[in-house]
Every structure is written in structure tokens, then in C-alpha cells.
Amino acid sequence: MAKAILRHLRMTPLKVRRVANLVKGKSVEEAQHILALDTHIASPILAKVIKSAAANAVNNEGANEDRLVIGTVMIDKSKTLKRYLPRSRGRADQLKKRMCHITVVVEEKAQV
């Protein structure tokens, strides 16, 4: 079991979760193919984190790259940047620019 973490991604957790649900439980190779064809903006970022987790499993634990499966993908809320947008008559609206953390855990599937 190996993991990779990306912290403080300037993208809302809901947008990233939508893409993460496509690859949960799939093999690493299949997940890379799915994300390569997906047009969502979070796809290449998630693919990079999955690639990093797979590399951690191969280099640190000696796992077989062909048998790696995505165990869990957690998309957690991070800090929120608060910005203000000027409005009419001297007022201001608050904009919340949300951020997230991505944690990917890969596991080696048992050989049959």
C-alpha cells in the first residue's frame, strides 16, 4: 500500500470528486486511460497524483506495476480564500475560492 498526496489544489472539491468517482477501484493502467480521454479540467491533475502513487509503490515497496489497483481516493476540503467583488452603491459581495487536498492510495492486487 502506497499513497501520494496533493495539497492545496486551487479547485473546488466537488469538481475533483466528480472525476475521482470515475476511477475508484480500477487498475492504475485503466484509470490512466480513462483520465486521458476525459475532458474535465481535473483529469490531468488526478492522473498525475495516481502516477505518483504508483511510482511510490514500485520504488518504495517493490510492488509489481501491472497488479496495482486504486484502493481509495479521498478529496478533502482545504482552506478557502476569501475575496471581494465590488457591487453597486458601495457594496461588496464575498467570493469564496475553495481549495482541496487529493489523497490517492494504491494497493497491490493479490495474484490469482
Confidence of residue 111 (pLDDT cuts 50, 70, 90): confident
pTM greater than 0.85: yes
DSSP string of the chain, one letter each residue = -EEEEEEEESS-HHHHHHHHHHHTTSBHHHHHHHHHH--STTHHHHHHHHHHHHHHHHHHH---GGGEEEEEEEEEEEEEEEEEEE-GGG-EEEEEEEEEEEEEEEEEPPP-
User: What tens digit of pLDDT does each residue of 56-105 get?
Assistant: 999 999 999 999 999 999 999 999 999 999 999 999 999 999 999 999 99
User: What tens digit of pLDDT does each residue of 30-63 get?
Assistant: 999 999 999 999 999 999 999 999 999 999 999 9
* Residue 45 · residue 51 · CB < 8 Å: no
Tell me the residue range of the domain where 95 lies: 2-108
Q: What is the CATH number of the domain that holds 22?
A: 3.90.470.10
**Number of domains forming the structure of the chain:** 1
